[in-house]
A and B are shown apart, each in its own frame.
Chain A
């Protein structure tokens, strides 16, 4: 450990940058950066990458001091991986133990970046598929402890429930970022959030107990972070 960083959460460290609170993860691919983040190196040469909450919903959740149910040993299904900005930090966290992240992305351009990221990191399984149809990638994904979802789709809660039915273990956690503008551009975000929460609590595929909801402003506008735990069988 260093004198400028201290543990914040499993696999996440806190320090300061230009006098301000800043989160870091230990670089699992030393010598390379992913999206222009700053690197700090301690005395024995270990690299720590700064985590920008404005570029990452998960980063914003950590920054807001939410207890995020992600541990270094987790098996994670990551829906909406994009070009791997957040996935790289998840990979850093998981690399401290033996966790693995299944990263699903549907769009070609970001997928190319994601594959290149997976080549540098040994705990990312890249999957080029449609997160709304878990049956398509079921042959590749084992049961997981955590589903993280950040997709710009209309029925975000329903997609999470469907994936949970196939992959999420009993008592597993869901970390969800809901983008109100993707559900309905015209509706009041508050209404949208309430409806999506209702879907999570009561759905034929899977039901959740909501542990925490939080507005991701000022890092992300009209986004809500949700942390939930899958209800066990009745």
Chain B
């Protein structure tokens, strides 16, 4: 056996295994309850050293495979095949439960909140529309925007009697409308609470992204990517067209033009930009979003340079375009 093939160790759920021509048990676990074993398994599974060892043994595993059942029996964790399965199953279930309960990270909380916010918005609009429709039968002259309208009905519904055009309202009618408006108002309050939760969590977990994209757009991007880790791993070109998947697929399949921007369009830097520059600006903005997400995920410290660099770049784009127009 050459030096490079000298014996190697790796950890499995039942203990440590040594390879030196064949597989043998080198270390038994000193613990025995399934809760302890699952804790140990979690640290084994996340040990980058163990993962590297296993990867480096891949050429060996291709040729021969360790008999886990025999090794686990030797380690004293199972006497029979049936016991092997039942012991491992118990440990695997506990391991998965612990991993799942640890997977609700701060960015996942933001995602839940931003999705709840979308639902709230939809519901509020729906109900406000219904209330407006309903109350306007009694007071058609009343012209107030969304929340103010609901507040009016909730506070002074009897004002409907001033109306010249409206139907006469009984006390009962108004009482029902008033409580309906109260319910909608409480949804507006809930919405404000969710928004401030998102703002707080975003500034904490993604300071750069919040600064650059804004709290709500930032949170929405996190939600679409599936978390800060995923957003950080995403190429900026994907971030640019995220939310425009339909147009992107159409572009790839036929000779339709590629989408210039997806969800990021809701940012004022894009929706106020001159039409012809939007593609260029979207590209730079997406790159800066990607950089922010990466900075947030890997370092977590705030870097004001990302935004100032982006502004410089956008100014250059705008300047270049105005010079071109002058030449023409």
Determine whether A111 belongs to the interface, using a CB cutoff of 8 Å to chain B. Answer: yes
- B65 to chain A: closest residue by CB: A143
Determine whether B30 belongs to the interface, using a CB cutoff of 8 Å to chain A. Answer: no
Which one of B58, B63, B93 lies within 8 Å of A119 (CB-CB)?
B93
Determine whether A29 belongs to the interface, using a CB cutoff of 8 Å to chain B. Answer: no
Shortest CB distance B49–A (Å): 12
Q: In the docked arrangement, what's the CA distance between A115 and B11, Å? A: 24
Which one of A122, A123, A125, A139 lies within 8 Å of B44 (CB-CB)?
A139
Determine whether B175 belongs to the interface, using a CB cutoff of 8 Å to chain A. Answer: no
Instruction: Tell me whether A137 and B45 are in contact in the complex, defined as CB-CB below 8 angstroms, given that A112-B100, A122-B85 are known contacts.
Output: yes
Which one of A135, A142, A185, A233 lies within 8 Å of B54 (CB-CB)?
A135
Within 8 A of A (CB), among B94-133: 95-97, 99-100, 103
Which one of B82, B89, B96 lies within 8 Å of A111 (CB-CB)?
B96
Shortest CB distance A19–B (Å): 40
Q: Which residues of the partner chain B approach A138 to less than 8 Å between Cβ atoms?
A: 10, 12, 54, 61
Determine whether A210 belongs to the interface, using a CB cutoff of 8 Å to chain B. Answer: no
Q: Which residues of the partner chain A approach B103 to less than 8 Å between Cβ atoms?
A: 108
Which one of B45, B82, B100 lies within 8 Å of A139 (CB-CB)?
B45
Q: Which residues of the partner chain A approach B11 to less than 8 Å between Cβ atoms?
A: 139
- A103 to chain B: closest residue by CB: B92
Q: In the docked arrangement, what's the CA distance between A205 and B226, Å? A: 31
Q: Which residues of the partner chain B approach A127 to less than 8 Å between Cβ atoms?
A: 92, 96
Determine whether B225 belongs to the interface, using a CB cutoff of 8 Å to chain A. Answer: no
Which one of A125, A128, A186 lies within 8 Å of B253 (CB-CB)?
A186
Interface mask (B45-83 → A, CB under 8 Å = 1, otherwise 0) = 100001100110010011101111100000000000110
Q: Which residues of the partner chain A approach B99 to less than 8 Å between Cβ atoms?
A: 128
Determine whether B252 belongs to the interface, using a CB cutoff of 8 Å to chain A. Answer: yes
Size category, B interface: 35 or more
- A165 to chain B: closest residue by CB: B62
Instruction: Tell me whether A125 and B92 are in contact in the complex, defined as CB-CB below 8 angstroms, given that A112-B100, A206-B62 are known contacts.
Output: yes
- A102 to chain B: closest residue by CB: B92
Instruction: Tell me whether A140 and B92 are in contact in the complex, defined as CB-CB below 8 angstroms, given that A128-B100, A166-B61, A206-B62 are known contacts.
Output: yes
Please determine whether B92 and A126 come into contact, CB atoms closer than 8 angstroms. yes
Instruction: Tell me whether A136 and B85 are in contact in the complex, defined as CB-CB below 8 angstroms, given that A115-B100, A118-B93, A186-B249 are known contacts.
Output: no
Instruction: Tell me whether A126 and B50 are in contact in the complex, defined as CB-CB below 8 angstroms, given that A143-B65, A166-B58 are known contacts.
Output: no
Shortest CB distance A168–B (Å): 9
Give me 17 A-to-B residue pairs in the complex whose CB atoms sit less than 8 angstroms apart, sorted by A's number.
A98-B81, A108-B100, A115-B97, A122-B85, A127-B92, A128-B99, A136-B51, A138-B10, A138-B12, A139-B44, A142-B66, A143-B65, A166-B58, A166-B61, A185-B252, A186-B249, A205-B58
Q: 19 extra interchain contacts, Cβ-Cβ under 8 A, other than A128-B99, A135-B54, A139-B11?
A: A98-B81, A111-B96, A115-B100, A122-B85, A122-B86, A123-B89, A125-B89, A126-B96, A128-B96, A128-B100, A138-B54, A139-B41, A140-B88, A140-B92, A143-B65, A143-B67, A165-B58, A165-B61, A185-B253
- 7 closest Cβ pairs, A-B complex: A186-B252, A142-B68, A143-B65, A139-B12, A135-B54, A125-B92, A128-B96
